[in-house]
């Protein structure tokens, strides 16, 4: 469990300024309007767990979450930066086992396949935050929410499914990830090979 079991939700968001990114997302990921959530009663700040780190492969995280966390929601939407620049977001929400409420029509297998494809075909720039957990705008003591943002993807495979290659000495070799996102001893971390 993350952070000694205090993490109630893990939210993984794939972000792109290329709005065509959403055209690649299958229909099993529902479209969602930007929600106007309840504002917290007082300003509450979280802490950054992982500073922006490029070239990170995310499949280990998904495997590490299995068992302790359950995929309960997936959505896609267009949002705006503070400067009003639009960007695409595909978001996956994992709840701690004891809080997991999976909607009846939620196709977890199809959505999991999408996550594996998004994490397995690219490396990403990862930034992660540890935030207080809010319910109806109110702080829930002892509960946390980890937010993981993935953007600036770099392909590992070309359009034909072949590996992207690079020169190593006199030979071309497949590009392979060197950094991996996962959970080690209850902490979210990026590890190298």
Q: What local confidence, expressed as pLDDT, does residue 32 receive?
A: 81
The torsion defined by the Cα of 108, 30, 88 and 119, in degrees rounded to 10, comes to: 10
Tell me the per-residue pLDDT of 137-161, one tens digit each, with 9 for 90 and over: 888 999 999 999 999 999 999 989 9
Residue 37: the pLDDT is: 45
* Low-confidence stretches of the chain (pLDDT beneath 50): 35-39
Quote the pLDDT of residue 36: 42
Q: Please give the Cα distance from 153 to 100 (Å, whole number).
A: 30
**pLDDT value, residue 3:** 67
The CA-based dihedral angle spanning residues 75, 76, 82, 86, taken in that order and rounded to the nearest 10 degrees: 180
End-to-end CA distance of the chain: 23
Predicted pLDDT at 34: 57
Under 8 Å between Cβ of 21 and 15: no
């Amino acid at each position: 469990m993350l952070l000694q079991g205090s993490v109630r939700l893990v939210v993984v968001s794939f972000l792109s300024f290329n709005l065509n990114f959403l055209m690649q997302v299958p229909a099993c990921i529902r479209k969602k309007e930007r929600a106007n959530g309840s504002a917290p009663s007082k300003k509450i700040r979280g802490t950054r767990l992982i500073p922006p780190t490029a070239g990170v492969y995310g499949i280990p995280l998904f495997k590490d979450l299995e068992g302790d966390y359950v995929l309960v929601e997936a959505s896609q939407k267009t949002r705006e930066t503070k400067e009003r620049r639009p960007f695409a977001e595909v978001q996956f929400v994992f709840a701690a086992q004891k809080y997991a409420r999976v909607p009846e029509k939620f196709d977890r297998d199809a959505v999991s396949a999408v996550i594996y494809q998004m994490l397995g075909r690219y490396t990403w720039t990862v930034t992660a935050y540890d935030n207080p957990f809010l319910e109806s705008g109110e702080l829930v003591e002892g509960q946390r929410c980890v937010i993981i943002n993935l953007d600036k993807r770099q392909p590992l495979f070309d359009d034909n499914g072949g590996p992207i290659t690079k020169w190593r000495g006199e030979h071309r070799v497949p590009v392979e990830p060197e950094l991996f996102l996962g959970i080690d001893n209850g902490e979210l971390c990026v590890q190298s090979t």
